[in-house]
Chains A and B, each alone.
Chain A
Amino acid sequence: MSTVTIRNLTLGYDRHPAVHHLDGRIEAGAMLAVVGPNGAGKSTLLKGLAGAISPLSGAVEMSRSDRHAIAYLPQAAEIDRTFPITVFELVAMGLWRRTGLFGGLSKADRLAIEQALAAVGLTGFEARTIGTLSGGQLQRMLFARLLVQDARLILLDEPFTAIDAKTCADLLDLVRRWNAEQRTVVAVLHDMETVRQAFPQSLLLARRAIAWGPTDEVLTPENLLAARRMTEAFDDHAGICTEAA
């Protein structure tokens, strides 16, 4: 088990930085909340950690085996909910790294899927098609797929947005369980209460890191005010950044 090292990382779009010169380490087994105003680069950072976008400069360093053991839940999963596929099959896709293109599901795999569905309270939904699920049920299903993925590094982008309190509490329990199993969890969150309750470490991001460390020391009124001062718009005429690359 190893750490993730972020070295002078700049991520962005069309050469405009969304995450600017970020440095830091995510320790193995950490439970890190990423907070900040809209447009602060939180989702971009998660995409960068997941390897879904490549850095404009700098690097995300982790061991090769870790890179292949990432589970990433995007903010708005690009799921086509009209596609005719059952809940069981979609959750089974979490096993992709084991089964690959052709591998079949063993008895143990089927059991793992059943257990994951039970853990998120979707027992009995196996044969339902995904188009019949409510928003909260869909999120529970995606968490079941994360469970099945059995990843060491779990990236969650606003996992509790637009779901009811009961579902939120259930899913947060799952996240805590992952952490107890020594998995690393990085989650983008907006609800400061949830962060203070459940996440010992926080990164307050406003393109640059405003603060990174124990949650109590990061979420101070001064820091939050500083984060809100960030300007959101990209400047099309901004010069080339000369900060040490």
Chain B
Amino acid sequence: MYDVFIGPFVEFEFMRRALVGAIALSLGGAPVGVFLMLRRMSLMGDAMAHAILPGAAAGYLLFGLALVPMTVGGIAAGFAVALTAGLVARFTMLKEDASLAAFYLISLALGVIIVSMRGSNVDLFRVLFGSVLALDDPTLILLAGITTVTLVALALLWRPLVLDSVDPGFLRSVSRSGAPSHLVFLGLVVLNLVAGFHALGTLLAVGLMMLPAIAARFWGRDVTSLAAIAVGFGIASGYAGLVLSYNMETPSGPSIVLMAGVVYLVSLVFGPHGGLVPTYWPARHREA
């Protein structure tokens, strides 16, 4: 038992680093994922993850696999796409999903072309699937920093974000904070996707953001508990995925996301709020 579940983390520093990285990702990303889900933007996270690619790829093209240029490039590209799509949605008749789809397709095509201009298969693999077992100090500090910024910003924006999701018309009638808080929120999505990109790669960056959040929907009744449950699910998936990866010699990033997927499937079947079993085989009803 010890050898399977605890030993790897005691013995190897890279396993400890990977675990810390997964915890940091979950703490910041999962609450963001909860709001993405509640605002019916679940798929947007996936689209945004692709939007980061051309920026990160440009950084890679100019400087190779270096933390700072790829981070700055990814953040810049992500912000550019998120803000343009958000602004187009606010000020034209196009809905956010449509305008986002347009912009992310453009940036995905651009990203693939840039990556193909230079690059070995190993590097490409790393860009696509991340390198959670090779997180160095600067990368860990970056992840922790992004998580800190995210948690502070969410604390500040909690009320307008909730109200803008549940009753946007009312928020407009009492406050002008709707549009700015939405834009800041999109910024948080980008930051967390860049964090996810370093650990899990561009294809799975949304994994620890969306899967725990969606699974939490079956267990929580209000936004606060949803966020807390999602963080817990994320950390548990990170740990279980690393254990799986170490013992079965599976790739670590996909293992983590797969474990989050298992949590989701279990929640889908047994979750007390709208899961399959409680919905279709309900317990005996009450008198009133």
Contacts and interface: CB of A to CB of B under 8 A. Distances in A.
Contacts of A78: 167-169
Contact of B169 (A71, A77, A90): A77
Contact of A93 (B163, B172, B226): B163
A83 B174 contact: no
A52 to B, nearest CB: 6
Interface in A75-98: 77-80, 83-86, 89-90, 93, 96-97
Contacts of A93: 163, 167, 170
Interface in A4-48: none
Nearest to A97: B174
Interface string B145-172: 0000000000011011011011111101
A108 interface: no
A149 B175 CA distance: 13
9 contacts: A70-B173, A77-B170, A79-B166, A80-B166, A84-B220, A85-B162, A90-B167, A93-B170, A101-B156
A58 interface: no
B95 to A, nearest CB: 14
Contacts of B173: 50-52, 70-72
B221 interface: yes
B167 A102 contact: no
Interface centre among B167, B177, B226 (most CB of A within 10 A): B167
A102 B38 contact: no
The prevalent SS among residues of B at the interface is helix
A84 B226 contact: yes
Contacts of B163: 93, 96
Contacts of B156: 101-102
A85 B166 contact: yes
A60 to B, nearest CB: 15
B174 A96 contact: yes
Contacts of A83: 38, 165-166
A77 B167 CA distance: 7
A136 interface: no
Nearest to B40: A80
Nearest to A95: B174
A34 B127 CA distance: 62
A129 interface: yes
B167 A80 contact: yes
B192 to A, nearest CB: 21
Interface size class of B (residues with CB under 8 A): 20 to 34
Interface string A53-80: 0000000000000000011101001111
Nearest to A89: B222
Contacts of A70: 173
Contacts of B167: 77-80, 90, 93
Nearest to A71: B173
B175 A96 contact: yes
Nearest to A128: B221
B68 interface: no
A97 B170 CA distance: 12
B169 A74 contact: yes
A130 B163 CA distance: 13
A79 B172 CA distance: 13
Nearest to B226: A84
Nearest to B169: A78
A83 B220 CA distance: 11
Nearest to A68: B174
A30 to B, nearest CB: 21
Nearest to B163: A93
B223 interface: yes
Contacts of A72: 173
Nearest to A127: B221
A78 B95 CA distance: 16
A67 to B, nearest CB: 11
Contacts of B177: 101
Given A72-B173, A84-B223, A85-B222, A101 B168 contact: no
Interface string B55-73: 0000000000000000000
A8 B3 CA distance: 81
Interface in A137-169: 145, 149
A84 B174 contact: no
A84 B221 contact: yes
B157 to A, nearest CB: 8
A58 B160 CA distance: 32
Nearest to A72: B173
Contacts of A51: 173
Contact of B159 (A50, A101, A129): A101
Contacts of A96: 159, 163, 174-175
A180 B12 CA distance: 75
Interface string B201-232: 00000000000000000001111001000000
B78 to A, nearest CB: 25
